[in-house]
Amino acid sequence: MTKPLRPALLGGILLAVLGSLCPFLWFVLTSFKSQIQVEAIPPTWWPDGSLGFYTSALIEHRLLHYIRNSVIVAGATTVIALVVATPAAYALARLRMAGKAWILGGLLCVAMFPHIVIAGPVWQILERLGGLNTHWGLVLPYVSLTLPLAVWILTTFFQELPFELEEAARIDGCTAWQALYRILLPLAAPGLFTTAILTLVFAWNEFFFALLILTDPGRQTLPVGIALFQGEFIMPWGEIAAASVIATLPLIVIVLLFQRGIISGLSAGAVKG
């Protein structure tokens, strides 16, 4: 790449990053404003540092209650998806079977289905099972929706691990399950972290099925709870901004922690030929 193109490329990247961050930064600034500043025309850019919107979101709108529900649903979804996807991906990557490419292609196609297409059947199944307005009734479709991508990612990581490691473990007396959990899983830590991140982010941010399945305010998750902040005649933008900031911060922290785990897993699991 020639030197004159590098400043232009860096400038383009900087503009793209700033454009992506602008809506969130504006919400961060709005969350620290007073109601007078929010309603001011023309708008004020810098907040006065008020925490009134955070207090209102946490106490009056019961934000902590929605956060608890989201932690339960997202945590259960992530754990179950990893537990189910790991042996499935191991089988696809290591065992000899016909039609592996077709299976992986089918999983990828299923992951791309629009949610509205399966909304009716999912609702009817959960109604018959008694899963409406329950957390497990929301976890069930979440696991179904995240499994295809989880299996795809983990299969790729297992395929990259040398077969000699597993063969050596089998010679030493390990069963297939012992070789998987003692030898391969530590080396596939980057794939597990990546899968956990994607599954957790999906379950934390998902809105459509949460709105469809959970109509009881006591069981609704964070995205639905924030969407229902609006009153009959006003839109509480300050409280919505504060709640959005609170809802986003855990994801940022978790992603940063998992990124460190991925780097550590890559360094620890590297195999030199």
Average pLDDT, whole number, for the chain? 83
pLDDT in tens, 11-34: 888 888 888 888 888 888 888 988
Residues 48 and 265: beta-carbon distance below 8 Å:
no
Structural tokens at position 170:
């089998």
Q: What is the pTM for the complete model shown?
A: 0.83
pLDDT in tens, 86-115: 988 888 887 777 777 788 888 888 778 788
Domains of the chain, CATH where assigned: 28-268 (1.10.3720.10)
**DSSP for 109-148?**
HHHTS-HHHHHHHHHHHHHHHT-TTSHHHHHHHHHHHHHH
Q: Which residue in 74, 81, 76, 63 sits closest to 245, CA to CA?
A: 63
Based on its alpha-carbon atoms, the radius of gyration of the chain, rounded to whole angstroms, reads 23
